[in-house]
């Protein structure tokens, strides 16, 4: 079955090691050896993760035969960000409603306090 | 193997049917039957997708025995958005650099045009 590009990106991100690799590459391009160093993982295991990231378009590999540096492709994450952006207003609206509610109960508490203090001036 | 919460969310989003279910639920809560209607899928197949979304915290189910409406939990997507937010500056910086580059070549073209026009005033 063919995977659509957005699903491939989400699937690639669904792994803590792959996300850690992206975090390292956000600092700059590097070799597979250097990428593998902080993980208790075999070279082939890391290569497998890199292939998933590469297939999803999240990283690219250099072409120099010996030194094939990995590079983050941040623009590939932009399409994921755009998908989530469609939902952002939903939790923002929820926070707005919560804020409105807090303001309402604060205003109510103030009015009640004022009324409890007597009807001076009337 | 235990899946971390962020990986579970990304994995749940890595399927076009599940993303379509979330898009429908963004309009309001509804029943499984109504959710299944636009898809050429069996009830159990839809239920399986709903379980993945529920386990990832992206949706919740009502408790009424007969009518167990599904509801989107947009705040669960906020953690995904925050993860991506860490990378947003990378593509924004890239656009900024592109803009700087365009300004530089525009300024250069202007200077060259001016110089080609002769050295009047000197």
Rounded CA gap, B67 and B41, in Å? 20
Check residue A33 and give its pLDDT. Answer: 87
Low-confidence ranges of chain B (pLDDT < 50): 121-122
| H helices, E strands: number in chain A | 5, 2
- Is the Cβ pair B83, A15 closer than 8 Å? no
Check residue B1 and give its pLDDT. Answer: 55
- Given CB atoms, is B83 within the 8 Å cutoff of chain A? yes
More confident position, A103 or B25: B25
Q: Where are the beta strands (DSSP E) in A29-79?
A: 59-61, 70-72
- Is the Cβ pair A88, B80 closer than 8 Å? no
- Report the C-alpha dihedral over residues A3, A5, A11, A13, rounded to 10 degrees: 170
| Nearest chain B CA: its distance from A109 CA (Å) | 29
Check residue B95 and give its pLDDT. Answer: 67
pLDDT tens sequence across A13-47: 999 999 999 999 999 999 888 888 888 888 889 99
Question: Half-sphere exposure (CA, 13 Å, Cβ side) for A69?
Answer: 8
More confident position, B38 or A2: B38
**pTM of the predicted structure, to 2 decimals:** 0.78
Check residue A121 and give its pLDDT. Answer: 47
- Is the Cβ pair B87, A94 closer than 8 Å? no
- Given CB atoms, is A90 within the 8 Å cutoff of chain B? yes
Contacts of A15 (CB under 8 A, 6+ apart): A49, A52, B7
């Amino acid at each position: 079955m063919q995977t659509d590009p957005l699903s491939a990106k989400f699937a690639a991100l669904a792994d803590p090691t792959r996300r850690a690799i992206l975090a390292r590459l956000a600092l700059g391009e590097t070799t597979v050896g250097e990428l593998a160093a902080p993980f208790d993982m075999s070279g082939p295991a890391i290569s497998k993760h890199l292939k998933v990231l590469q297939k999803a378009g999240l990283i690219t590999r250099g072409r120099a035969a010996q030194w094939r540096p990995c590079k983050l492709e941040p623009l590939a994450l932009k399409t994921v960000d755009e998908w989530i952006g469609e939902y952002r207003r939903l939790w923002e609206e929820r926070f707005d409603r919560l804020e409105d509610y807090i303001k309402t109960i604060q205003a109510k508490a103030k009015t009640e306090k004022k009324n409890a203090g007597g009807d001076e001036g009337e």
